[in-house]
Amino acid sequence: MAAAGSLRAGQLFAPPGISRPMLLLLAACGTMSVANVYYAQPLLDSIADEFAISHAAVGGVITSIHIGCALALLLVVPLGDLVNRKRLICAQLVLLTGALALVIWSPSWILMLIGMAAIGLLGTAMTQGLIAYSANMAPESERGRVVGTVQSGVVIGLLSARSLAGFSADVSGWRAVYVISAALSLLMLVVLSRALPTPRAPARKLRYSELLGSMLQLIQSERTLQVRGVLCLLMFAAFSVFWSTLVLPLSAAPHSMSHTTIGAFGLIGLVGALAAAGAGRWADRGLGQPATCIALLCMLLSWAPIALLHHSLLALMLGIILLDLGGQAIHVLNQSMILNNKPETHSRLVACYMLFYAAGSGLGAIASTFVFSRAGWLGVCALGFSISSVAFVFWLVTRKWMCRGQNP
C-alpha cells in the first residue's frame, strides 16, 4: 500500500524496457528534431535576397544556429539528469514550436537570427535529450541496440534535411520548411506526451550549478568518456574535412553540378549510416573494441576512392558509403559504451560527448577550406586520411589502457 501510495504521489518509476514501436517512434522524433538544425544551410541565398543583405552577412544564420547548439549542450541537455525527462522533452517541443513560429513570421533580420538561435538550441536539446532518454529507459543488455536505432533516425534527419529544405523552398519559398517543421513539432508533442513511459527518478537531487559543475568532473574522471570523446573529435573532424569542401570541386568545372545535385550525395551516405545502426549490438555483446577497429579501417580505406573524385564519381560514391559506415558506426559505439552505466548521469554524459563532436566538426571545417585553397582536393584527402590515421593509432594506444581502467 505504501508503495502504491508513493506512486500516486508522483514517484517516478522505471519501465522494463522499450518496445519496438516506441523505439521507432523515438527514432522518428530524432529525425524530425535534428533536421531543424540543418534546414537553413541550402536556404541562405533565399534568406539573403528577402532581407536584402549580403551573402557574407547571411552566414550569421549558421553562426546563430551553432551558438544555440553550443548553449544547448552546455546548459539545457544536462537538465535531463535533474528533472523529469518526459516533461522536459514536452516543454522543449512547445518552445521549439514557438521558435519556428518566430522564424516563419519574423519581419526583421534581427528577430530571424534570434529565432534561428532558438531553433539551434531547442533542436539540439531535443535530439540529445531523446538519445539520453532512450538509453536511460533501455535495459543494460539492449542499450547499444536502442541507442543505435535512435541514432540512425538522427542520421536520417541530418542527411535528408538539406534536400527537403531545398525542395520545399523551390515549391513554396524558404519559410515553407519551417511551417512543415512547426506542424511536425506539434504532432510530436501530442504523441510523445501520451505515449512516452515515465522515466526513472534521479538518484539524488542536485542544484543546477552543481549539475553543470559535475560535467567537468565527469570529463576528468570517466575514462570511457575521455577516450571515446577524443575518437569522436577526430572522427567528426575527418567527416567535416570531407563534407565542408565537397561542394567546391563538384560545383567547379568539369563537373559544374547544381547545389541540388551535390546535396544528393548526402543521401548516398544514408546507405552506410543506416548499416552502422547495428553497431550498437556489437557493444551489447562486449565486442565494442573489435567493431571500432573495423569502423576505423573503413574510414581509412574510404579516402582512396574519395581521392578519385575527378576521375570517377562511382568511386566517390563508394568512398562516401565507407566513410559514413565507419564514422557512424564509431559514433554509435561511442555512445553505447559511454552510456553503458551510471544512468543517473546519462544526459550530462551525452552533453559532454557532443562537446567533443562540436570541437571536431569546427576544427575540421576550418582546416579543410584552408588546405583546399592551397593543395586542392588531393590535399583535402591527405588531411582526412591523416586525421583518420591519428584516430586509428590513438585507438591502438588506448585500447589496453581502457581495458585496465574502471570504465571499460
CATH number of 214-408: 1.20.1250.20
* Nine cell digits for residue 167: 525542395
**CB neighbour list of residue 370: distance below 8 Å, 6 or more residues apart:** none
pLDDT number for residue 352: 95
Q: Is the dihedral of CA 395, 401, 403, 406 positive or negative?
A: negative
The confidence score (pLDDT) of residue 386 equals 97
Whether residue 403 is predicted with pLDDT greater than 70 in this model: the reply is: no
Burial class (CB in 10 A: 0-12, 13-18, 19+), 288: buried
- Reported as a single tens digit per residue, the pLDDT across 304-333 is 999 999 999 999 999 999 999 999 899 999
pLDDT tens profile 248-297: 888 788 888 876 677 778 788 788 777 777 888 888 888 889 999 999 99
**Helices in 173-245 by DSSP H: which ranges?**
176-195, 208-221, 223-245
* CA distances, 374 to each of 64, 94, 244, 378, 380 (Å): 29, 47, 15, 10, 10
Looking only at Cα atoms, what is the longest distance across the chain? 76
- What is the structure's pLDDT at 1? 37
Residue 15: band (very low, low, confident or very high) from pLDDT cuts 50, 70, 90: very low
Q: CA-CA distances (angstroms) from residue 7 to 86, 196, 203, 307, 343?
A: 16, 17, 16, 60, 21
Provide mean pLDDT across the span 101-127.
95
pLDDT(7) > 60: no
Q: What is the pLDDT of residues 170-186, one digit of tens each?
A: 888 899 999 999 999 99
- SS in 3 state form for 94-158? HHHHHHHHHHHHCCCHHHHHHHHHHHHHHHHHHHHHHHHHHHHHCCHHHHHHHHHHHHHHHHHHH
Q: What pLDDT is attached to residue 402?
A: 64
Residue 130 has which C-alpha cell?
531523446
User: CA 239 to CA 256: how far, in whole Å?
Assistant: 23
pLDDT score of 202: 65
Type of residue at 309? L
- What's residue 407's pLDDT? 43
Q: What is the rounded CA–CA span in Å between residue 103 and residue 112?
A: 5
The yes-or-no verdict on residue 203 having pLDDT over 80 is: no
Contacts of 115 (CB under 8 A, 6+ apart): 99, 100, 102, 103, 106
User: What gap in Å lies between CA 236 and CA 359, rounded to an integer?
Assistant: 9
Residue 101: per-residue pLDDT? 97
* One CATH from 1.10.540.10, 2.60.200.20, 1.20.1250.20, 1.20.1630.10 for 20-202: 1.20.1250.20
With CA atoms as reference, report the closest residue to 169 among 160, 178, 181, 158.
178
Q: Which residue matches cell numbers 567537468? A: 216
Q: Average model confidence (pLDDT) for the chain?
A: 87
pLDDT at residue number 98: 97
pLDDT in tens, 25-76: 999 999 999 999 989 877 887 888 899 887 668 778 888 898 999 999 999 9
For the chain, give the percent of residues with pLDDT over 70: 91
Of 31-35, 114-118, 404-408, which gets the smallest average pLDDT?
A: 404-408
Every domain of the chain and the residues it spans: 20-202, 214-408
The whole-number pLDDT of residue 154 equals: 92
pLDDT-above-90 percentage for the chain: 53
pLDDT of residue 350: 93
Position with higher pLDDT, 408 vs 77: 77
pLDDT of 114 over the 90 cut: yes
221-235: per-residue pLDDT in tens?
999 999 999 999 999
d(C-alpha 278, C-alpha 333), whole Å: 10
Q: Pick from 149-158, 191-200, 259-268, 374-383 the range whose average pLDDT is largest.
A: 374-383
pLDDT at 161: 87
Between CA 339 and CA 284 the distance in angstroms is: 11
Residues 6+ apart with CB under 8 A from 72: 120, 121, 122, 124, 125, 128
Instruction: Indicate the SS3 state at residue 283.
Output: helix
80 C-beta neighbours (distance < 10 Å), count: 28
Q: What is the pLDDT of residue 364?
A: 86
What pLDDT score was predicted for residue 17?
67
Among 135, 175, 149, smallest CA distance to 29 is for 149
Measured in degrees and rounded to the nearest 5, phi and psi for residue 224 equal -60, -40
